[in-house]
Amino acid sequence: MVIASQAGQPTADPSPSPQPGGSFDPSSPALWWRGAAIYEIYPRSFSDADGDGTGDLAGVRQRLRYLSDLGVDAVWFTPWYPSPMADGGYDVSDYRAIDPSYGTLGQAEELIAAAAELGIRTIVDVVPNHVSDQHPWFQAALHAPAGSAERQRFWFRPGRGVDGDEPPNGWISEFGGRAWTRTRNPDGSPGEWYLHLFAPGQPDLNWGHSEVRLEHEEVLRFWFDRGVAGIRIDSAALLVKDPDLPEVGDRPEPGEHPYIDRDELQEIYRSWRVVANSYDDRALIGELWLSDPDRFIRYLRPDVLNSAFNFDFLVCPWDAGRLRAAIEETIAVHGRVGAPATWVLSNHDVTRPVTRYGRADTSFAFGDKRYGIPTDLDIGRRRARAAALLTMALPGCVYIYQGEELGLPEVEDLPPDRLQDPMHFRSSGVDPGRDGCRVPLPWSGEEPPYGFSPRASADLWLPQPKDWADLTVELQERDPSSTLSLYRSALQLRREHPSLGDGDMGWLSTAPDVLGITRGGDFACVVNFGLEPVTLPPHDQVLLASDEMLKGGRLPADTAAWIRLPAGP
């Protein structure tokens, strides 16, 4: 939605205050990860070519043109490897193959090459904290006796109590419930326990074991050899455990938690860096949920990882002050090590922004997810569109989760018997889980499966709502005011504008409920978080706005505009 030139009236003083950024050469392809727009594909729900109701690689292949028209630089596939799907693929049983429901290794190789031809790089997910309980290593461990070499790759321990029927410690799974499951001996008697920080189908690996380290370095090489440009590292701060497995304690000091953010991780990722550096322009991207900025930034030193998701920004409420503080902190912290920032509004784990931003509490926390929280989707959608323009204007990399560009809401009324997410089940059904943001995409047509699957009668792995006809790609492509059109215009401008992507930013001085960021002296993004319309700062042109501007070029509530600033004196 490119809006024609409008004259602005002076109310705010454009006083850019440049922030230090990392020095880099934007023309160098080796630094693509510093400013890329990366699109997250959840393969199960992107597009189904074979009609079985589950997305697949052939489906992605058919939609590559869509991704290239959208204007993304890279795609990140959540795990596409063989998996019993105890956690949507984050329980990998073989890193050197593709889950048969998605396709074949040959198809993955062809897809990586076909995407590259369209200028789109591929990022794959590696899940080093755990494997599937069907992984050959874990199966071998289960069938080997206590104390065997096979069990050393995991965390097997005898239980406490007289009969060993108490778990080895009181650690709690990230999905709720105890983090230990007891095994059975071949004669049927109760055996040792094994650790799983997530679901029981995801046994934790022992990163003190040299084979675990070597295997993962081989997995990186396996995928780099097939042309992938980056690795997204799942649960990157959890791999290393204190071998004594002590209780967590009240408030462990940073770095002293028995399994979060242990110092030994730095060395592990340094060795991954060496592998990545033996290829050209490959990126390592950490999923690091760490609130301490000093600890977080250690992972982004030049010899460790390249970048990490910015969850502080994602969890922020729709509030000018809170978002400004998060942005300032992000830029300052990343500047310390010369790493690029990333900006993320959503992913396959969190409530979709359209739903989140329409609630009374617009922040996100896993522990707060509940059924029946009222939301105003119209307000949510306005804010999500404005937030999109903000994220795409900020310096660094931006992530877009599939369906975000369509303005999809969270599906909050999935039939209980269709739910799959272990987070839901391990909360005894109190937490609705993450299925609501993983519903298959609507591509075309008036009713489910909305072109997701070629068979009208296909039974999708998660059912789509009956009221998504207005949200299909087909419809939104024809509507210049749609969320899809907004994302396309923004991504195109972001690519063309020399100041966007990586680099520095400054702030405009604005009213407290308005944010104004500048890029490169001639570009600004202004977001109105207040209840009343505001006048834009002096500008030559409104390049793009997240919703219709008001008469006289005033910016309505919950709206963002990209403007061209007048040339300086």
**Smaller CB separation from ligand NOJ, 125 or 405:** 125
Whether 472 and 443 have beta carbons less than 8 Å apart is answered as yes
**Smaller CB separation from ligand NOJ, 101 or 483:** 101
Residue nearest to ligand NOJ (CB): 90
| Full strand arrangement of the beta sheet holding 514-519 | 506-507, 514-519, 523-528, 559-564, 541-545
CB of 75 to ligand NOJ, least distance (A): 16
Is the peptide bond preceding residue 566 cis, with omega within 30 degrees of 0? Answer: no
User: What x-and-dash track marks residues 83-112 binding ligand NOJ by CB under 6 A?
Assistant: ----x--x----------------------
Whether 560 and 517 have beta carbons less than 8 Å apart is answered as no
Pairing of strands 523-528, 541-545: unpaired
235 touches ligand NOJ (CB under 6 A): yes
Of residues 315-354, those binding ligand NOJ (CB under 6 A): 348-349
Q: How far is CA 522 from CA 19, 125, 134, 257, 491, in A?
A: 16, 38, 56, 46, 18
| Residue 439 burial (C-beta neighbours within 10 Å; 0-12, 13-18, 19+) | buried
In whole angstroms, what is the distance from residue 66 CA to residue 488 CA? Answer: 10
156 touches ligand NOJ (CB under 6 A): no
CB of 510 to ligand NOJ, least distance (A): 35
User: What x-and-dash track marks residues 286-305 binding ligand NOJ by CB under 6 A?
Assistant: -x------------------
Question: Is 261 in the active site?
Answer: no
CB within 8 A of 551, min separation 6: which ones? none
Question: Is 217 in the active site?
Answer: no
Of the candidates 547, 178, 189, the one whose C-alpha atom is nearest the C-alpha of residue 379 is 547
Of residues 187-216, those binding ligand NOJ (CB under 6 A): 198
CB of 387 to ligand NOJ, least distance (A): 21
Whether 87 and 199 have beta carbons less than 8 Å apart is answered as yes
**Smaller CB separation from ligand NOJ, 348 or 359:** 348
12 touches ligand NOJ (CB under 6 A): no
Residue among 234, 404, 410, 558 that touches ligand NOJ (CB under 6 A): 234
Of residues 471-530, those binding ligand NOJ (CB under 6 A): none
CB of 269 to ligand NOJ, least distance (A): 17
420 touches ligand NOJ (CB under 6 A): no
Q: How far is CA 401 from CA 234, 421, 448, in A?
A: 16, 18, 21
Q: Which two tokens stand for residue 246?
A: 């002590």
In whole angstroms, what is the distance from residue 3 CA to residue 62 CA? Answer: 32
**Smaller CB separation from ligand NOJ, 321 or 429:** 429
CB of 348 to ligand NOJ, least distance (A): 6
**Smaller CB separation from ligand NOJ, 174 or 405:** 174
Residues 190/194/196/201 CA torsion (nearest 10 deg): -60
Residue in 204, 234, 435, 558 annotated catalytic: 234
Residue with tokens 């071949």: 186
**Smaller CB separation from ligand NOJ, 343 or 529:** 343
Residue in 174, 287, 421, 502 annotated catalytic: 287
127 touches ligand NOJ (CB under 6 A): yes
Q: Which two tokens stand for residue 239?
A: 């791999």
**Smaller CB separation from ligand NOJ, 132 or 391:** 132
Residues within the interface to ligand NOJ (CB under 6 A): 87, 90, 127, 198, 234-235, 287, 348-349
Which positions are annotated as active-site residues?
Answer: 234, 287
